[in-house]
């Protein structure tokens, strides 16, 4: 019996079409950029009717979001390196992040995703839950180990710690307001750890 809400039945959904749409979206974001991406274009590239997109996604942003969310999924139970030296480990991780942001292939998609998330609170929540949360938990876990090892103050605010590490990096990337170098990564690690140092 129908609920009358017009909500489509997910069991009838064509996995084939879903994949084609996400694939086409990924390709088009890379090729023409987010601003010139259109539902019409995605549908054409995917060999799919526009209605099939509108049936399953609320907006262009939601499709883009899903396209890259699906890519990164499966990143469950990740853990950061733990050599016992928190500073060295964070350097490794932040240098890797810097390298990732510098990769021009990531530029388009991540910018698209960023704009989408900042414009749509609902997508932001989804992003937080599905993608950011597990990664952040892994990072927090590494910091907790450092706390146990006495390298970080026992009462440190770990959420704030993560922001001190990553927000400056992200802001430089977003606004192109400064160079993203390994040295910059090191400096962020050094300053953050100094701020968190046990008395």
What residues line the site for its own copies (CB under 8 A)?
Answer: 35, 111, 114-115, 117-119, 121, 124, 128, 157, 159-160, 163-164, 166-168, 170-172, 174-178, 187-188, 191-192, 194-197
Query: Which among 191, 167, 187, 192 has a CA at the least distance from the CA of 177?
Result: 167
Residue 186 beta carbon to its own copies: minimum distance, rounded to whole angstroms: 11
Residue 152 beta carbon to its own copies: minimum distance, rounded to whole angstroms: 12
Residue 94 beta carbon to DNA: minimum distance, rounded to whole angstroms: 37
What, of DNA, its own copies, none, does residue 11 touch, CB below 5 to 8 Å by kind? DNA
Give the separation between CA 90 and CA 192, rounded to whole angstroms: 10
24 CB-contact burial (10 Å; exposed 0-12 / middle 13-18 / buried 19+): buried
Residue 189: other Cβ atoms inside 10 A: 22
DSSP assignments along 67-121, one per residue: HHHHHHTT-TT------S-HHHHHHHHHHHHHHHHH-HHHHHHHHHHHHHHHH-H
What, of DNA, its own copies, none, does residue 8 touch, CB below 5 to 8 Å by kind? DNA
- Judged by CB under 7 A, does residue 51 bind DNA? yes
- Judged by CB under 7 A, does residue 13 bind DNA? yes
- Judged by CB under 7 A, does residue 33 bind DNA? no
Residue 15 beta carbon to its own copies: minimum distance, rounded to whole angstroms: 24
- Judged by CB under 7 A, does residue 47 bind DNA? yes
Q: Can you tell me which of 19, 33, 49, 81 binds DNA, judged by CB under 7 A?
A: 49
Stretch that binds DNA, among 5-13, 89-97, 115-123, 186-194 (CB under 7 A): 5-13
- Judged by CB under 7 A, does residue 14 bind DNA? yes
- Judged by CB under 7 A, does residue 25 bind DNA? no
111 CB-contact burial (10 Å; exposed 0-12 / middle 13-18 / buried 19+): middle
138, 183 in Cβ contact below 8 A? no
Cα dihedral 37/42/45/50 (nearest 10): -140
Residue 59 beta carbon to DNA: minimum distance, rounded to whole angstroms: 6
């Amino acid at each position: 019996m129908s609920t009358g809400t017009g909500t489509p039945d997910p069991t009838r959904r064509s996995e084939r079409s879903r994949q084609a749409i996400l694939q086409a979206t990924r390709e088009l974001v890379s090729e023409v950029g987010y601003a010139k991406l259109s539902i019409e274009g995605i549908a054409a590239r995917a060999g799919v009717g526009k209605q099939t997109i509108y049936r399953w996604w609320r907006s262009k942003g939601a499709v883009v979001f899903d396209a890259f969310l699906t890519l990164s999924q499966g990143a469950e139970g990740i853990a950061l390196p733990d050599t016992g030296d928190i500073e060295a480990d964070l350097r490794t991780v932040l240098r890797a992040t810097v390298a990732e942001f510098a990769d021009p292939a990531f530029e388009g998609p991540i910018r698209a995703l960023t704009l989408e998330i900042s414009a749509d609170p609902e997508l932001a929540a989804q992003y937080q839950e599905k993608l950011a949360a597990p990664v952040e938990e892994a990072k927090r876990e590494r910091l907790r180990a450092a706390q146990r090892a006495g390298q970080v103050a026992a009462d440190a605010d770990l959420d704030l710690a993560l922001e001190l590490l990553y927000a400056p990096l992200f802001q430089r990337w977003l606004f192109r307001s400064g160079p993203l170098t390994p040295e910059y990564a090191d400096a962020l690690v050094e300053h953050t750890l100094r701020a968190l140092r046990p008395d």
